[in-house]
A and B are shown apart, each in its own frame.
Chain A
Amino acid sequence: MINEQLAQISNLALVVTIVLYVLALIGFGADLASSTQRRSDARLADRDREEQEEARTLQPVAVGAADDGSGVTADAGGARPAAAGADAEGPNGQGAPSQGTMSAQRFAFVLSGAATVLHVLGVLTRALATQRVPWANMYEFATTSTAVVMLAFLVFSIRRTELRALGTFVVGPVLLVLLLAQTFWIVPAAELTPSLQNSHWIYIHIGVAIIATALSILGAVVAAMQLLQARHERALVERTADGEQSPEHWGRLGHVLDRLPSSTVLEALSFRIHSVAFVCWTFTLIFGAIWAREAWGRFWGWDPKEVWTFIIWVIYAAYLHARATGGFRGSRAAGFALAGFVAVVFNYTIVNTVINGLHSYSGL
């Protein structure tokens, strides 16, 4: 029944996927590392432009000198056309360092796209090899849900290019989960145990749970960046108020944050992701209850997995309420969202491997 050849292809595809994600991560990292460079380039260009304008308006006599100066600036501006724009516009269009070469970010984005395609292929071949859904144990759940995370990230950022700067913070966790899956959770392709057979709820209940988990991961990334960004912005505002011309805060991290969308944009995005995630978690609970009633004769029995999914649901509900409560909006609400994510991680790792319950499908 198990097609061993396909199962091996699936394993190989996922290993290559990991390698590609590593390269993509290096690309995204290099892009972020160049933030400081880009920032100072942009400021230089700005200063040059200002000087040039000053020279033009105030010193019409010194034509020759001004000409020299403008020649230099034109050069610099030409070499990095996007840099100056980026400073004003934020992270948009972090263009090529020079015409014809790929920027690190574009390279990383294309590479993570390719890796995601291979990732999805790896998941699909696993499904074909076993003739069933690719989410019957912890390893398969991890590989499938990370594929969903990557797909969601690509869908979000294919049009909103400013979100690509989040690449490091998405590919990083995905890579971490995949490495854990590949080293600790991997089990050979096998058929379903009886408790997972004969039920269409395995498609529905676990399918929704995978989407919910993937959205929780993405939401947590965005919420964490929102928190950092909000603190960063507050600090910058304070320093500007203190009279600093071009305020700096948190050094290199600050330069990276300068390129990310503002905390309000991130907050809106985080809310949108979390509200869909909350609906998915609600469905996970309801479908799980229906299945539990068919399989175990009761819709709810306080099995550890049930308890923790309930906890996740309650915390995300608290997040949505916090967002509407005076004094909790913004950063504090984001804290609730991150607490929800901690519960998701606990539910997936500790509950699966340490706590004994009816949902013992990790295969470990």
Chain B
Amino acid sequence: MSKDRTNDPTSPSSPGSAPAGGSSAESSWSSKPEVDGRRQVGAPALNLRGTLLFLWRQLTSMQTALILLMLLAIAAVPGSLYPQRSVNPALTEQFLAENGRWGKLLDTLGFFEVFSSPWFSAIYLLLFISLIGCIVPRLGVHLKQLRARPPRTPSRLTRFTGYTRIELAAAREGGSGAQQIDAQQIDDEQIIERARRSLRRSRYRTEVREEAGGRSVSAERGLLRETGNLAFHIALVGVLICIAGGQLTSYRGQITVIEGDGFANSLTQYDSFESGAWFDETSMPDFRFTLEDFRATYVKPGEAGTVGEPRSFEADVQVNTPGEDQVDKTIQVNKPLHVQGASMYLLGNGYAPEVTVKDPEGKVVAEGPVITVPMGDTGYTSQLVIKAPDARPKQTAVVGFFLPTGTIDEKGPHSLYPDAVDPQLALTVHQGDLGLDSGIPQNAYEVDLTSLTPVTGEDGNPVLIRLYPGQEYKLPDGTSVSFDGLRRYAAFDVAHNPFEHWILLSALVAVGGLVLSLFVPRRRVWVRVRTTADGTVLEVAGLARSDDPALEDDVRALASSLAEAQDGTPSAHETDPERPARNADHSSEGSAQ
């Protein structure tokens, strides 16, 4: 790669700038073949192949990646500012209703489905194509580098980080010429071997080379940095693929279960259900459960915290899975039920008062617990709708509120506290055509009152029924409503994503690679022993190829330990003509721009 070429200290042109160049360029996140950010634009010929090549180079360039990253960040912003259909459909509809043409325009542009909109998808797909185009060539280069031997020791080490020169006192006195040279060579070998072993221990890859007048060991460390970098990027592609796989095969459904009732896992039992294109219904695990009990506790008056704030939700369930014993489990928030192939989460709860409605003829037209919908206040004021299409002479609807701790004042009927301290119903009865025969599917929790007439009392006003448990109310026309008892219900999500574990695995590989690519220093260290007319000289130097402030100290420590091992005394002959200058250099090293 061109970067290696420019930073390679062995190339004759670069030693002067090597330390600075080495640290800045190698701090890189990626080793794109870019040297100074300028590319040769327009160089290829104007044929199709050339144009495509040119576009491909543009797409895989680092600047493009940068722009795409920033675009991705900016494109995600509206996804948090406008309500999203996938997150909160009701809020989205409300926004559309309130904003008329502006809302419609935004809707056409995909602002309510940002994360599946064409423009958002285009950005991240281009980003990932750019990423793949960038890492594939790097992968090849890196694999080659992993097998290659450390590069040759540069002939002049003086310009490198931590350069230390030590004149060795040993093996210089007396003896005949031949003997002296002999001793000298053993000496060289010993020092170099010691240096090599010491570097090997510090996980350097080493290479000993014979040179004119001596020998040297060239050591390299930190290839893990690039390995980690590549692993990070490849794992990100893995995350994306696994997410796509999950989208296609996962499912998610909502159910509501009243205390005492059961649920069996099949499509017909769900209130709502969504699944991916490749979802296979037969893969749904066959489990069933009964909701034995649901408990909720709230902050009581006098306790610390906001009165009425929830403190715990617990659902006791009896679970049956084929081929296994029945088990009792308690599902809480953060404690879902896991069965083979699915998980069930407690996500909501409410009250289901037992109400019996009789028509004027005395026939029971509605009976049993009715799921009420909490309106979102702390008191759990809940909406109740009962439709009785079988009532005669007219179809009947009972609508109103269930109040766990009820009061009726100028604000109308509402609840003061979420727990069922003083449960009551506040209802009105309406008669007419419920419209159930029209064939248009209706929401079970809503009723259109415009086509119905309220049952009125003697004063002509609609009769407001207020009921406590065990009470019954008879309307002037003979219709009766009774409040027989109270149960609670729990709302669960059942979901399964077969790719979840693979996504987690990819993400962990990515973060592992990230840590390596950020914190493993990549460096080279050279040790050379040379015999000159003055005696034997030991030289040690290093080259940082990433932010690596510890290199200088490590190089000097190696030099002095080698010198000490050689003559048993701390090196008295250490000469380092450039040391002050080096130090000044070093303060700005690490990121020299």
B29 lies within 8 A of A189 (CB): no
B592 lies within 8 A of A264 (CB): yes
Question: A43-81, CB under 8 A of B: which get 1 and which 0?
Answer: 000000000000000000000000000000000000000
A351 lies within 8 A of B69 (CB): no
CB distance from B144 to the nearest CB of A (A): 21
| CB nearest neighbor in B for A330 | B593
B76 lies within 8 A of A321 (CB): no
A314 lies within 8 A of B305 (CB): no
Judge if A169 is at the interface, Cβ distance under 8 Å: no
| CB nearest neighbor in B for A162 | B587
A318 lies within 8 A of B66 (CB): yes
| CB nearest neighbor in A for B587 | A265
CB distance from A197 to the nearest CB of B (A): 7
B333 lies within 8 A of A195 (CB): yes
| CB nearest neighbor in B for A188 | B304
CB distance from A291 to the nearest CB of B (A): 8
Residues of B within 8 A of A295 (CB): 333-334, 345
| CB nearest neighbor in B for A301 | B87
B312 lies within 8 A of A194 (CB): yes
Question: B438-479, CB under 8 A of A: which get 1 and which 0?
Answer: 000000000000000000000000000000000000000000
B511 lies within 8 A of A1 (CB): no
Residues of A within 8 A of B36 (CB): 326-327
| CB nearest neighbor in A for B61 | A325
Judge if B70 is at the interface, Cβ distance under 8 Å: yes
**Given A198-B332, A265-B588, A271-B27: A315 touches B76 (CB 8 Å cut-off):** no
Q: Give Cα A320 to B514, complex, Å.
A: 11
Residues of B within 8 A of A194 (CB): 310-313, 332-334
**Given A194-B313, A197-B334, A321-B69: A297 touches B345 (CB 8 Å cut-off):** yes
Judge if B79 is at the interface, Cβ distance under 8 Å: yes
CB distance from A162 to the nearest CB of B (A): 10
B511 lies within 8 A of A282 (CB): yes
Question: B1-45, CB under 8 A of A: which get 1 and which 0?
Answer: 000000000000000000000001101111010111110000000
Judge if B306 is at the interface, Cβ distance under 8 Å: yes
**Given A283-B511, A297-B345, A297-B495: A302 touches B593 (CB 8 Å cut-off):** no
Residues of B within 8 A of A283 (CB): 511
A321 lies within 8 A of B62 (CB): yes
B345 lies within 8 A of A195 (CB): no
| CB nearest neighbor in A for B20 | A264
Judge if A199 is at the interface, Cβ distance under 8 Å: yes
**Given A314-B72, A321-B66: A264 touches B305 (CB 8 Å cut-off):** no
Judge if B259 is at the interface, Cβ distance under 8 Å: no
Q: Give Cα A279 to B511, complex, Å.
A: 7
B511 lies within 8 A of A321 (CB): no
Residue in B24, B77, B79 whose CB lies within 8 Å of A302: B79
- Stretch of A101-109, A120-128, A304-312 at the chain-chain interface: A304-312
B333 lies within 8 A of A268 (CB): no
Judge if B507 is at the interface, Cβ distance under 8 Å: yes
Chain B residue total in the interface (Cβ 8 A): 71
Considering only residues 71-96 of chain B, those with a C-beta below 8 Å from chain A are: 72-73, 76-77, 79-81, 84, 86-87
Q: Give Cα A328 to B64, complex, Å.
A: 12
A2 lies within 8 A of B304 (CB): yes
Judge if A180 is at the interface, Cβ distance under 8 Å: no
Residue in B80, B333, B493 whose CB lies within 8 Å of A308: B80
Residues of A within 8 A of B576 (CB): none
A307 lies within 8 A of B76 (CB): yes
Residues of A within 8 A of B403 (CB): none
Judge if B58 is at the interface, Cβ distance under 8 Å: no
| CB nearest neighbor in A for B70 | A318
Judge if A177 is at the interface, Cβ distance under 8 Å: no
Residues of A within 8 A of B332 (CB): 194, 197-198
Question: B325-363, CB under 8 A of A: which get 1 and which 0?
Answer: 000000011111000000101010000000000000000
CB distance from A178 to the nearest CB of B (A): 23
**Given A191-B304, A327-B37: A314 touches B69 (CB 8 Å cut-off):** yes
Judge if B115 is at the interface, Cβ distance under 8 Å: yes
Judge if B504 is at the interface, Cβ distance under 8 Å: yes
Judge if A258 is at the interface, Cβ distance under 8 Å: no
**Given A272-B547, A297-B347: A191 touches B333 (CB 8 Å cut-off):** no
Q: Give Cα A199 to B511, complex, Å.
A: 23
B80 lies within 8 A of A355 (CB): yes
Judge if A267 is at the interface, Cβ distance under 8 Å: yes
Judge if B591 is at the interface, Cβ distance under 8 Å: yes
A286 lies within 8 A of B69 (CB): no
| CB nearest neighbor in A for B25 | A324
| CB nearest neighbor in A for B81 | A355
Interface centre among B24, B114, B549 (most CB of A within 10 A): B24
CB distance from B64 to the nearest CB of A (A): 10
Residues of B within 8 A of A325 (CB): 32, 34, 37, 62-63, 66
A262 lies within 8 A of B588 (CB): yes
**Given A264-B591, A268-B590, A343-B73: A299 touches B495 (CB 8 Å cut-off):** no
B306 lies within 8 A of A324 (CB): no
CB distance from B381 to the nearest CB of A (A): 20
Residue in A2, A321, A326, A355 whose CB lies within 8 Å of B35: A326
Q: Give Cα A298 to B76, complex, Å.
A: 19
A279 lies within 8 A of B515 (CB): yes
CB distance from A301 to the nearest CB of B (A): 6
A197 lies within 8 A of B312 (CB): yes
Question: B519-563, CB under 8 A of A: which get 1 and which 0?
Answer: 100000000000000000000000000010100000000000000
A190 lies within 8 A of B305 (CB): yes
Residues of B within 8 A of A272 (CB): 547
A321 lies within 8 A of B504 (CB): no
Q: Give Cα A267 to B587, complex, Å.
A: 12
A264 lies within 8 A of B588 (CB): yes
Judge if A111 is at the interface, Cβ distance under 8 Å: no
Residues of A within 8 A of B81 (CB): 355
A322 lies within 8 A of B66 (CB): yes
Residues of A within 8 A of B63 (CB): 325, 327-328
A317 lies within 8 A of B69 (CB): yes
Residue in A197, A293, A318, A330 whose CB lies within 8 Å of B500: A293
Residue in A264, A289, A336, A343 whose CB lies within 8 Å of B593: A264
Judge if A323 is at the interface, Cβ distance under 8 Å: yes
CB distance from B247 to the nearest CB of A (A): 11
B38 lies within 8 A of A326 (CB): yes
Residue in A282, A307, A314 whose CB lies within 8 Å of B80: A307
| CB nearest neighbor in A for B236 | A317
**Given A190-B305, A268-B590: A314 touches B73 (CB 8 Å cut-off):** yes
Residue in A198, A282, A311, A327 whose CB lies within 8 Å of B333: A198
Residues of B within 8 A of A293 (CB): 500
| CB nearest neighbor in A for B28 | A324
Residue in A189, A289, A294, A298 whose CB lies within 8 Å of B334: A294
B contact residues vs A (CB 8 Å cutoff): 24-25, 27-30, 32, 34-38, 62-63, 65-66, 69-70, 72-73, 76-77, 79-81, 84, 86-87, 114-115, 243, 252, 299, 304-306, 309-313, 332-336, 343, 345, 347, 493, 495, 497, 500, 503-504, 507-508, 510-511, 514-515, 518-519, 547, 549, 587-588, 590-593
List 16 extra interface pairs beyond A297-B345, A311-B77, A328-B63, CB under 8 A. Answer: A191-B311, A194-B332, A194-B333, A262-B587, A262-B588, A271-B591, A275-B518, A282-B510, A297-B336, A297-B347, A297-B493, A299-B497, A299-B500, A325-B63, A326-B34, A326-B38
29 CB contacts below 8 A, A to B, read A188-B305, A191-B304, A193-B310, A194-B313, A201-B334, A264-B588, A271-B27, A278-B514, A279-B515, A283-B511, A289-B504, A294-B336, A296-B345, A299-B500, A299-B503, A303-B87, A307-B76, A308-B80, A310-B76, A311-B77, A318-B73, A320-B29, A323-B27, A324-B30, A324-B62, A326-B34, A326-B38, A327-B36, A330-B593
List the 10 closest pairs (A to B, CB-CB), nearest first: A326-B37, A324-B28, A327-B37, A190-B305, A2-B304, A297-B345, A268-B591, A318-B69, A307-B80, A304-B80
